[in-house]
């Protein structure tokens, strides 16, 4: 084979060693290939690569050579299985299943039972002696093919099925006999012909080709697009398509389909979890056609298959060293594994499983730390119902995703989106499908009547870290009247309910929730993370209570105390206004003297909590007009005049930060005195001086800091001679980053204020960008991330690197941190690690996230890798 031919190969058998990984084969394809080569019971088949999908989506036709490769792969499959595609004698039936490199559960389409036709169904019915099975499979094919390839409305098929069941006086699909299903096939074919004007294709080759094209196209359906946007999955990667020999979970009472997790995906405990349906195809379990049975019952019903499943899950956990989510089918007692992937799990389960796997010797502590998604950590300490509250439990269900949530009842995803703009909502549905993804994203939590741990609602809710109660039998929804019955209660749309996804309870009204402030597993993993990270983690905190929380979450100091809130409050604001309205410096100082004790008390409170850890206090930043009412509300002519004189066209770029401090030095002087006096008071009281870092905002010129540095040192010397302290600056203007070497001459430290640095480097005001043009930039793909949430590494990041290196070029010991919002964003934290910063500072709640992300960055640099299974 020539090199060119290797380059353009689009199809790989599961049994062969592929030349690429998940990017080429998709997660599902790679898993099937690896499981086949591990010797696990996997149906045979082949994968059409993501290269082929991308080429198809670009040109709208199959790339050259794909048809020939498909033909050859089919022949190999026929030879290996002793069957023939499209033949009524020993027919080969296949499924066509999507599978991208990154798992997108249920977002794209799959089609089962391809290869059936009138003749093949008859042949299969005769050969198996089971007409019910043959025609049930055929009617499923017509429906799925009709929906996915031709876009026929699913309801038309569902209605025909319901009508037939009514005519036959049965309630379950499985009660229809072979004759009934033959009749159903005829009705389905009529629906197909009526909708499209041509017959359902009888040629297996035509079916297969159209199915592959449709699955490629399903990459671009709107729910997949939404899912990618919500999960930061690139648009261009495309999906692979797996063509898999059919195995039949619907071949009678010794057949079944199910999903199994090797450990509990909600709690992480070591017991396998899952559900299955006897005599059903896999899609039935996920779609919740009938209530599935819990996995434990499989041990009683089909013990040999169950034992083999446990064995296979153990082998898969050993291979992937992670919790697996396995799809399986049992055909006449024989187990087949159709798919394995790393299980989506709650943050609590992720921590529990990682710790257990370290104990079991399956993974190292480094891997345990790498495995936890930092952004999930915020969900570990999820709200719970206050144990002291008395609640009315209306109904119970499966505790499918932990945490509690309160909201107004909505019955549709669209209504969830609409109403969530006004108030928190709980999505209440019979079940959810991938079409409801936007509603799940908008809701606080979800309650379903149907399904269990593996239902769509449960899987998505766990992924989003939201509570879910599934399979709530006592829930009946009547969308027409906008009500539901929940046990013996009637609940209207808009009524408040509470769901408790940890205990599986649906509760009337808004229960009071509490947020626990610790989790032992979180503490364990973070204590491991702390041993790997080199980046310090501080918190942005303005009050003793915030500081307390920051310490509880493990902050090693405060990287930003914003002092402006200390100017508000009923007692203070009038004095602040008096200060601003003062006619001369004497009057201004008199007002400032009255403010000083308030500020001093605030600083003492924070120093007390931080007990000798660094506290970086930023002097006043916002323009003075922020402390005055609007002109119409002014209470005197003088106030009106002052409001007019302080008015600026663009206050963001106006008299803010150190510009204010240089124009009205008395203000900074007062703040410095308050800091110094608070430090002395705390040192006297506790015997330990606080570590004070005084920070000047919005410096552009070295000369600004030069003057403010002199002011700082003069006041500190007057008030607290001998008190060790640092004097530094925020770097939040591009000029400051560029001139960092000059500025460092007067600075003991730099702290990058990347909120303002992003605004000024990009020339975007955050408030005018977010929700407006920036949102459309994100939708259009002009930018990949919101630069105010995730640092624009190429642009703003370069200023950070430049400022750091220029500053340290004249002062190697210069302490450098970051205190913009980016300090709590995992990707930005990785960047800060690589840029050589000393610490990140973020909101107290994000401190655990930052500790973990900092450790992951350090481990990534050491080359510790972690492989994820499946897709
Ligand atoms: C910043 O600009 O990044 C910063 C932390 O300051 P503020 O958000 O208060 O302007
Ligand atoms: Mg700022």
Q: Is 376 helix (H, G, I), strand (E, B) or coil?
A: helix
Res. 93 pLDDT band, cuts 50 70 90: very high
DSSP code, position 766: H
Q: How confident is the model at residue 199 (pLDDT cuts 50, 70, 90)?
A: very high
Question: Does residue 96 surpass a pLDDT of 70?
Answer: yes
CB-neighbour burial class of residue 395 (10 A; exposed 0-12, middle 13-18, buried 19+): buried
**How many angstroms separate the alpha carbon of residue 296 from the centre of ligand 1?**
54
The protein residue whose alpha carbon is closest to atom 4 in ligand 1 is 753
Q: At what angle do helices 22-38 and 303-320 cross, to 10 degrees?
A: 130
The values of phi and psi at residue 366, to 5°, are: -60, -45
- Alpha-carbon span 587 to 618, nearest angstrom: 25
pLDDT digits (tens, 9 = 90+) for 542-601: 999 989 989 999 999 999 999 988 888 889 999 999 999 999 999 999 999 999 999 999
CA distances from 337 to 104, 287, 343, 758, 871 (A): 19, 19, 15, 50, 14
**pLDDT value of position 659:** 97
Nearest CA to ligand 1 atom 7: 755
Higher-confidence residue of 452 and 534: namely 534
- Identify the sign of the CA torsion 6, 12, 17, 20: positive
The position carrying tokens 């019971």 is 41
Place of tokens 């033959």: 182
> In this structure, what token pair is assigned to residue 685?
């009281």
C-alpha 841/C-alpha 536 separation (Å) is 8
Instruction: Say how far apart CA 602 and CA 607 lie, in whole Å.
Output: 9
pLDDT at 5: 45
pLDDT at 70 > cutoff 50: yes
Ligand nearest to the CA of 560: 1
Q: Which one has a higher pLDDT value, 457 or 312? A: 312
The Cα 476–Cα 843 span in angstroms is: 42
Answer yes or no: are the C-beta atoms of 31 and 869 closer than 8 Å. Answer: yes
Three state DSSP letters for 513-564: EECCCCCHHHHHHHHHHHHHCCCEEEEECCCHHHHHHHHHCCCCCEEEEECH
Enumerate residues 6+ apart whose C-beta is below 8 A from 232.
785
Q: What would the mean pLDDT of 139-167 be, rounded to a whole number? A: 94
Which atom from ligand 1 is nearest to the alpha carbon of 755? Answer: 3
Which ligand lies nearest the alpha carbon of 822?
A: 1
Question: Which is the closest atom of ligand 1 to the Cα of 753?
Answer: 3
Q: Distance from the CA of 14 to the center of ligand 2, in angstroms?
A: 55
Q: Alpha-carbon distance 247 to 553, whole Å?
A: 51
Q: Is pLDDT above 80 for 6?
A: no
d(CA 338, CA 694): 61
- Using an 8 Å Cβ cutoff, are 737 and 758 in contact? no
Closest ligand, as measured to the CA of 817:
1
Amino acid 778: pLDDT? 82
Q: Could you report the per-residue pLDDT of 670-728, keeping only the tens digit for each?
A: 999 999 999 999 999 999 999 999 999 999 999 999 999 999 999 999 999 999 999 99
Percent of the chain beyond pLDDT 90? Answer: 73
Q: Which atom of ligand 1 is nearest to the CA of 560?
A: 5
Average pLDDT over residues 733-741: 98
Mutate to test the pocket of ligand 1, among 560, 755, 787 (most ligand atoms within 8 A of CB): 755
* Pairing of the two strands 614-618 and 445-448: unpaired
What domains does the chain contain, in order, with CATH numbers?
3-245 (3.30.1490.20), 256-342 (3.30.470.20), 382-514 (3.50.30.10), 533-622+657-861 (3.20.20.60)
pLDDT score of 869 more than 70:
no
Q: 609 alpha carbon to ligand 1 midpoint, in Å?
A: 23
| Centre of ligand 1 from the C-alpha of residue 563, in Å | 12
3 state DSSP class of 233: coil
Contact 666, 585 (CB under 8 A): yes
Q: Single out the residue of 459, 477, 480 nearest to residue 468, CA to CA.
A: 459
Atom 6 (ligand 1) nearest CA:
753
pLDDT at 2 over 50: no
Structure confidence at residue 781 as a pLDDT band (50, 70, 90): confident
Work out which ligand 1 atom sits closest to the CA atom of 820: 3
DSSP classification of residue 864 = -
What the block records as the tokens of 665 is: 């030095």
640 neighbors 687 (Cβ within 8 angstroms):
no
> Between the ranges 83-92, 185-194, 246-255, 624-633, where is the mean pLDDT highest?
185-194
Mutate to test the pocket of ligand 1, among 652, 730, 788 (most ligand atoms within 8 A of CB): 730
Amino acid 609: pLDDT? 97
Active site residues: 456, 819
Ligand nearest to the CA of 620: 1
Tokens 């608070």 -> residue: 678
Helix or strand holding residue 692 (H, E): strand 691-696
Mutate to test the pocket of ligand 1, among 732, 792, 821 (most ligand atoms within 8 A of CB): 732
How close is the Cα of 531 to the center of ligand 1, in Å?
Answer: 30
The ligand minimizing its distance to the Cα of 658 is: 2
- Minimal-distance CA residue to ligand 1 atom 10: 756
Instruction: Say how many Å lie between the CA of residue 808 and the centre of ligand 2.
Output: 22
Question: Is residue 9 classed exposed, middle or buried when 0-12, 13-18 and 19+ CB atoms within 10 A define those classes?
Answer: middle
Which residue in 212, 543, 481, 510 sits closest to 389, CA to CA?
510
| Alpha-carbon gap, residue 253 to 259, rounded angstroms | 18
Which residue intervals of 173-302 are DSSP H helices? 178-196, 204-218, 222-231, 282-287, 296-301
> pTM for this structure?
0.76
Distance CA 710, CA 696 (A): 12
Q: What's the rounded Cα separation, in Å, for the pair 468 and 461?
A: 6
CB atoms within 10 A of CB 374: 25
Counting residues of the chain whose pLDDT is more than 70, the rounded percentage is: 97
Atom of ligand 1 nearest to the CA of 564: 9
Mean pLDDT to the nearest integer, 500-515: 90
Ligand 1 center to 602 CA (angstroms): 20
**What distance in angstroms lies between residue 858's CA and the mean position of ligand 2's atoms?**
28
Mutate which of 542, 653, 820, 843 for ligand 1 pocket (most atoms within 8 A of beta carbon): 820
Which pLDDT band holds residue 870 (cuts at 50, 70, 90)? very low
For 363-400, the pLDDT digits (tens) are 999 999 999 999 888 777 778 888 777 889 999 988 88
- Average the pLDDT over 58-87 and give the result: 94
Q: Which residues contact 179 (CB under 8 A, 6 or more apart)?
A: 131
pLDDT of residue 621: 95
Residue 158 confidence (pLDDT) above 50: yes
All residues at 6 or more sequence positions from 160 whose CB lies less than 8 Å from its CB, including other chains:
184, 187, 188, 191
User: Is the model's pLDDT at 29 over the cut of 90?
Assistant: yes
Q: Which atom of ligand 1 is found nearest the CA of 752?
A: 3
Q: How far away, in angstroms, is 756 Cα from ligand 1 center?
A: 6
**Ligand 1 mean position, distance from CA 663 (Å):** 21
DSSP-assigned letter for residue 510: -
CA dihedral 196, 200, 201, 207 (to 10 degrees): 90
Query: Which atom of ligand 1 has the smallest separation from the CA of 756?
Result: 2
726 SS3 class: strand
Ligand 1 atom 1: residue of nearest CA: 753
Q: What is the mean pLDDT of residues 807-833?
A: 96
According to DSSP, residue 725 is labeled E
Task: Say how many Å lie between the CA of residue 817 and the centre of ligand 2.
Answer: 14
Q: How far is the CA of 468 from the centre of ligand 1 (A)?
A: 37
Q: Which ligand is nearest to the CA of 758?
A: 1
Q: Which two tokens stand for residue 611?
A: 């007990």
Report, as an integer, the average pLDDT of 785-807. Answer: 96
What pLDDT is stored for residue 286 in this prediction? 62
* Ligand found nearest the CA of 698: 2
- Cα separation, 386 vs 384, in Å, equals 6
Distance CA 397, CA 386 (A): 20
State the number of CA atoms in the 13 A half-sphere of 770 facing the CB.
10
Q: Tell me how crowded residue 576 is: count the other CB atoms within 10 A of its CB.
A: 23
Q: Atom 8 (ligand 1): residue with closest C-alpha?
A: 755
Helices (H), 39-153: 50-59, 66-81, 118-128, 131-148
Strands across the sheet containing 425-429: 393-396, 505-508, 496-500, 404-410, 425-429, 445-448, 468-470, 398-401
Q: What is the distance in A from the centroid of ligand 1 to the CA of 604?
A: 23
Residues whose beta carbon lies within 6 Å of some atom of ligand 1: 560, 562, 621, 732, 753-756, 819-820
Residue 98 near residue 220 (C-beta atoms within 8 A): no
Instruction: Write down the mean pLDDT value for the chain.
Output: 92
In angstroms, the Cα distances linking 133 to 113, 203, 742 are: 11, 21, 81
State the average pLDDT over residues 773-786: 85
Q: Enumerate the β-bridge partners of residue 95.
A: 244
> Among the atoms of ligand 1, which is closest to the Cα of residue 540?
5
Q: Which of 788, 819, 824, 841 to mutate to test the pocket of ligand 1 (most atoms within 8 A of CB)?
A: 819
Q: What is the mean pLDDT of residues 531-539?
A: 97
């Amino acid at each position: 084979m020539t090199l060119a031919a290797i380059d353009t190969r689009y199809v790989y058998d599961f049994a062969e060693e592929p030349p690429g990984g998940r990017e080429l084969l998709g997660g599902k394809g790679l898993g099937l290939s690896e499981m086949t080569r591990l010797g696990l019971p996997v149906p045979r088949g082949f994968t059409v690569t993501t290269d082929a999908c991308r080429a198809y989506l670009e040109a709208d036709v199959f790339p050259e050579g794909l048809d020939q490769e498909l033909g050859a792969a089919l022949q190999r499959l026929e030879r290996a299985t002793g069957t023939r595609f499209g033949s009524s004698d020993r027919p080969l039936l296949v499924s066509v299943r999507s599978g991208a490199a990154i798992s997108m559960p249920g977002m794209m389409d799959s089609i089962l039972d391809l290869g059936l036709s009138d003749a093949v169904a008859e042949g299969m019915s005769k050969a198996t002696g089971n007409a019910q099975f043959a025609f049930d499979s055929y009617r499923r094919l017509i429906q799925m093919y009709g929906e996915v390839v031709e876009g026929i409305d699913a309801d038309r098929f569902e209605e025909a099925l319901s009508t037939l069941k009514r005519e036959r006086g049965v309630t379950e699909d499985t009660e229809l006999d072979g004759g009934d299903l033959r009749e159903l096939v005829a009705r389905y074919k009529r629906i197909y012909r009526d909708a499209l004007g041509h017959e359902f294709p009888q040629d297996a080759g035509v079916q297969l080709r159209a199915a592959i094209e449709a699955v490629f196209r399903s990459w671009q359906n709107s729910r997949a697009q939404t899912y990618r946007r919500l999960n930061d999955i690139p648009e261009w990667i495309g999906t692979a398509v797996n063509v898999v020999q059919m195995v039949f979970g619907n071949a009678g009472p010794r057949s079944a389909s199910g999903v199994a997790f090797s450990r509990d995906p909600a709690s992480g405990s070591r017991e396998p979890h899952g559900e299955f349906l006897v005599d059903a195809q896999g899609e039935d379990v996920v779609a919740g056609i009938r209530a599935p049975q819990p996995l434990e019952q499989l041990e009683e019903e089909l013990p040999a298959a169950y034992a083999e499943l446990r064995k296979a899950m153990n082998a898969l956990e050993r291979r992937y060293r992670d919790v697996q989510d396995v799809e399986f089918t049992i055909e006449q007692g024989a187990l087949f594994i159709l798919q394995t992937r790393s299980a989506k799990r709650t943050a609590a389960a992720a921590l529990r499983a990682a710790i257990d796997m370290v104990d079991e010797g399956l993974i190292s502590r480094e891997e345990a730390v790498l495995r936890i998604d930092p952004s999930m950590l915020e969900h570990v300490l999820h709200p719970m119902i206050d144990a002291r509250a008395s609640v009315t439990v209306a109904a119970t269900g499966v505790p499918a995703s932990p945490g509690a949530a309160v909201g107004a009842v909505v019955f549709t995803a669209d209504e969830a989106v609409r109403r969530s703009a006004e108030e928190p909502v709980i999505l209440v549905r019979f079940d959810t499908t991938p079409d409801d993804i936007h509603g799940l994203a908008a809701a606080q939590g979800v309650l379903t009547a149907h399904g269990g741990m593996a239902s769509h609602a449960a899987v998505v809710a766990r992924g989003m870290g939201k509570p879910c109660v599934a399979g709530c039998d006592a829930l009946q929804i009547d969308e027409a009247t906008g009500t539901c019955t929940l046990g013996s209660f009637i609940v209207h749309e808009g009524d408040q309910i509470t769901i408790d996804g940890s205990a599986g309870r649906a509760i009337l009204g808004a229960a009071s929730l509490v947020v626990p402030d610790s989790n032992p597993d979180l503490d364990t993993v973070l204590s491991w993370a702390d041993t790997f990270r080199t980046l310090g983690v501080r918190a942005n905190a303005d009050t003793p209570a915030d500081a307390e929380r920051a310490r509880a979450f493990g902050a090693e100091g405060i990287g930003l105390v914003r002092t402006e809130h200390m100017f508000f409050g009923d007692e203070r604001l009038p004095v602040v206004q008096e200060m601003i309205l003062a006619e001369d410096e004497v009057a201004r100082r008199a007002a400032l003297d009255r403010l000083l004790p308030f500020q001093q008390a605030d600083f003492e409170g924070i120093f007390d909590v931080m007990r000798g850890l660094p506290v970086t206090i930023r002097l006043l930043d916002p323009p003075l007009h922020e402390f005055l009412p609007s002109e119409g509300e002014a209470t005197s002519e003088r106030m009106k005049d002052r409001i007019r004189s302080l008015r600026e066209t663009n206050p963001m770029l106006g008299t803010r930060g150190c510009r204010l401090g240089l124009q009205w030095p008395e203000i900074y002087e007062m703040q410095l005195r308050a800091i110094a006096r608070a430090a002395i008071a705390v040192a006297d009281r506790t015997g330990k001086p606080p570590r004070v870092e005084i920070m000047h905002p919005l410096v552009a010129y070295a000369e600004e800091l030069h003057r403010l540095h002199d002011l700082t040192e003069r006041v500190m010397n007057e008030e607290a001679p001998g008190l060790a302290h640092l004097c530094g600056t925020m770097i939040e203007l591009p000029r400051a980053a560029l001139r960092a070497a000059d500025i460092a001459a007067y600075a003991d430290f730099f702290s990058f204020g990347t909120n303002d640095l992003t605004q000024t480097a990009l020339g975007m005001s955050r408030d005018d960008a977010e929700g407006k043009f920036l949102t459309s930039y994100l939708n259009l793909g002009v930018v990949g991330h919101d630069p105010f949430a995730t640092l624009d590494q190429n642009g703003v990041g370069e200023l950070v690197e430049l400022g750091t290196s220029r500053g340290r070029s004249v002062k190697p010991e210069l302490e450098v941190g970051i205190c913009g919002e980016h300090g709590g964003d995992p990707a930005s934290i990785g960047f800060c690690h690589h840029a050589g910063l000393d610490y990140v500072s973020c909101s107290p709640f994000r401190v655990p996230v930052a500790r973990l992300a900092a450790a992951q960055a350090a481990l990534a640099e050491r080359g510790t890798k972690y492989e994820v299974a499946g897709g």
